[in-house]
A and B are shown apart, each in its own frame.
Chain A
Amino acid sequence: MTAQPLLTHDVCELEPVTDKREGEERGKVRILVIEDDIEAATYVVKGLRESGHIVDHAGDGEEGVTLALSGTYDVMVVDRMLPKRDGLSVVEALRENADATPVLFLSALGEVDDRVKGLRAGGDDYLTKPFAFAELLARIEVLARRANPDSVQTKLSVGDLELDLLTRKVQRAGQDIDLQPREFRLLEYLMKHSGQVVTRTMLLENVWEYHFDPQTNVIDVHISRLRSKIDKNFGEPLLHTIRGAGYSLRAAD
């Protein structure tokens, strides 16, 4: 079965990934979006392309499996409820074929139970509808990086900021920085994803293991505390607020 363009909207026409070099350009991620809701797919595909990524789209589970197995993708975005073959079984099929491409599930089912089912079926992340596009983008980029994991690191560094996972010491410009355990985990997560945008929800999920949004923006306060420890009194700020999305830890080029 060949990939049939389901979307007639011009922005969403399928562009099969043929030029490998294009995909290898820095920061570009090859993404397969398997989503049957045309409007949602249009919006996701358009947004991802405008963010500089290469996107294919499949409108049902069968087509999704075919495309996924024939192409090379860095990340797949899979809706849970799909015609012909549901999202869980699509991912199970891929995993049976030794395809380890990171998968992000999109679902209107937001219960912890569904999340667990999704992750157990071989998904790598789970995003509940409705979501902010920035959230999806940030997660896709994090997943794409995870696909090529560096060798196990015990020391992380961004600019002149260093974090030692073994001694649990943090230094900036050679100066010791004293962090609370949670601040350490927060910084560790930010450093592991340095250069990428991490959202508040990602931080809540990964640093605090909370899968709900607190009514107050508690993360902002934690970030500002951390910022006062790692950025204050040092020249160039490393921890940046990305408006409408989240935060990013990065050194100036």
Chain B
Amino acid sequence: MLLTNLLKTSTFRLAVIYLALFVTSVIALLGYIYWNTAGFLARQTDQAVEAEIQGLAEQYAQGGLPLLVHTVIQRSRDPRQSLYLVLDPRGNMLAGNLDSKPAALQGPDGYVEFNYQRRTMEGVERHAARARYIELPEGFFLLVGRDVEERRNIESLITASLIWAVALTLGLGLIGGLIMSRNMLARLDDINRTSREIMRGDLARRIPVSGTGDELDQLAGNLNNMLEQIEALMMGMREVTDNVAHDLRSPLNRLRNRLEVTLMKPASEADYKDVLEKTISEADHLLATFNALLSIARAEARSSREAMVDVDISALVLDAVELYEPVAEEAELTLKADVPEGLKLFANREILSQAIANLIDNAIKHGRKGEEGGEITVKAALAHGRVVLSVSDNGPGIPEADRARVLERFVRLEASRNTPGSGLGLSLAAAAARLHNGRITLSDAEPGLCVTLSLPV
């Protein structure tokens, strides 16, 4: 993976922004710590110096110069780190533990910062000091200060740790960001690579899911589901093509053979006419199959969803019943309708009509025939926010194992091979149910078959 690639990722950009925010907070936090530690020490020193000057000034006021010098000599012996110096107007040292007046000038806060030589057991050390001086009347000079060497050391220690802390935060954040975006990028790369492989035709590929259930996993899961659906559709297409090939090829072949055989030897005009008529009827049958396939394709097309309007389902069902009533009667079946008035549904009238017609058609073909008591019942009802349409017969029915299969295109059970039909009637009804976001179920009408379309309002 190229570094520039990495830097371009949105994850990395995000990581950098977070890092900047984080570093700012860290600096603010450390600043506060600094103010509370090193700053506190500095303020304490200054307060101590101030207090001492105050004290000495009071001594001077009470006992004049001699008391001051006496006090300073006494205090100078104190092993603590206070520094004193009292000079006469000519600059001679009267008392104190400093060698000379510091060369540095008084700062704006009234303090001088300087270095001095401190005598210790081990010898002379150069120490940092901070002091304040006042001019006494008659040209005398008093300086009170503190050795701040130790404080300086603590300060620089604190400063150093703070700088290190910021540097570490920056470094770790940067590395963390890089690692995070690398991981993210690696997973996105997986998705991209898999997509490319799928585009190249390997439809069986799936995007790896890490199992953490995060957004990327959800994305991968959704993409995988989509692929599943696409693959199922492709499989369906292939199956349909195979079925079309099978179901259209045999009649086409028959048609061709018949014409060929007729042409082999001279025949009478009546014979020719007969063959031609048979050919036309076969072609019509082929066309009917073709149209049924087209209807299903249409029901599955998006445009059918756009052609939806408010449909009076009651009227639609009753019209279909009325259309088939004479046919049922001819087949010695009773066609009953149990349809309440005023059922409405936002639907594709054409496709739904055809689906209902197909169901009634099927029931007439497969219902109990030639015997007494053959009956077909068409029901419509509104239940739990769904329009439920059902067509049931009291014929032989369909064994449970075959029920799912008959919804597929061209499936005609062996038992019904001899009845006319394309094997597409139920497929269209199933497609119509899908178009209306509903479902189709086949159940046992005890005896017989009951096909139910359940369509959400």
Contact = CB atoms under 8 A, between A and B. Distances in A.
B307 A112 contact: yes
A224 B420 CA distance: 21
B354 A212 contact: yes
Interface stretch (B220-228, B324-332, B382-390): B324-332
Contacts of B295: 212
B303 A111 contact: yes
Contacts of A215: 288, 292, 358, 361, 420-422, 425
Interface of A: 110-113, 130, 132, 182, 208, 210-216, 218, 221-222, 224-225, 244
Interface in B262-313: 277, 280, 284, 287-288, 291-292, 294-295, 298, 303, 306-307
B350 interface: yes
B350 A212 contact: yes
A138 to B, nearest CB: 15
11 contacts: A110-B294, A112-B307, A215-B288, A215-B358, A216-B324, A216-B327, A216-B365, A218-B326, A221-B330, A225-B326, A244-B280
A221 B327 contact: yes
B125 interface: no
A213 B288 contact: yes
Interface string B327-370: 10010000000000000000000100110011001001100000
A238 B365 CA distance: 31
Contact of B303 (A113, A214, A222): A113
A218 B327 CA distance: 6
Contacts of A224: 326
B402 to A, nearest CB: 20
A244 B291 contact: no
Contact of B326 (A110, A208, A221): A221
Contacts of A208: 319, 323
Nearest to B291: A213
A182 B353 contact: no
Contacts of B306: 113
Nearest to B428: A212
A113 B277 contact: no
Interface in B383-423: 420-422
Nearest to B301: A111
Nearest to A112: B350
A112 B306 CA distance: 11
B326 A214 contact: no
A83 B176 CA distance: 65
Nearest to A130: B287
B322 interface: yes
A113 B307 contact: yes
A211 B361 contact: no
A214 B361 CA distance: 8
A244 B278 CA distance: 11
A210 B316 CA distance: 11
B326 A212 contact: no
Nearest to B365: A216
B350 A216 contact: no
A109 to B, nearest CB: 11
Contact of A182 (B298, B322, B354): B322
A195 B376 CA distance: 38
Contacts of A218: 323-324, 326-327
A216 B364 contact: yes
A243 to B, nearest CB: 8
A216 B291 contact: no
Contacts of A111: 298, 303, 307
Contacts of B288: 213, 215
Interface string B231-267: 0000000000000000000000000000000000000
Nearest to B287: A130
A213 B291 CA distance: 8
Nearest to B277: A244
Nearest to B292: A215
A64 to B, nearest CB: 27
Contacts of B280: 132, 244
A214 B298 contact: no
A176 B92 CA distance: 154
Nearest to A111: B298
Contact of B323 (A110, A112, A214, A244): A214
A112 B364 CA distance: 27
A8 to B, nearest CB: 27
A132 B361 CA distance: 24
* Interface pairs A-B: 4 shortest CB-CB: A221-B326, A212-B354, A215-B361, A221-B327
Nearest to A181: B322
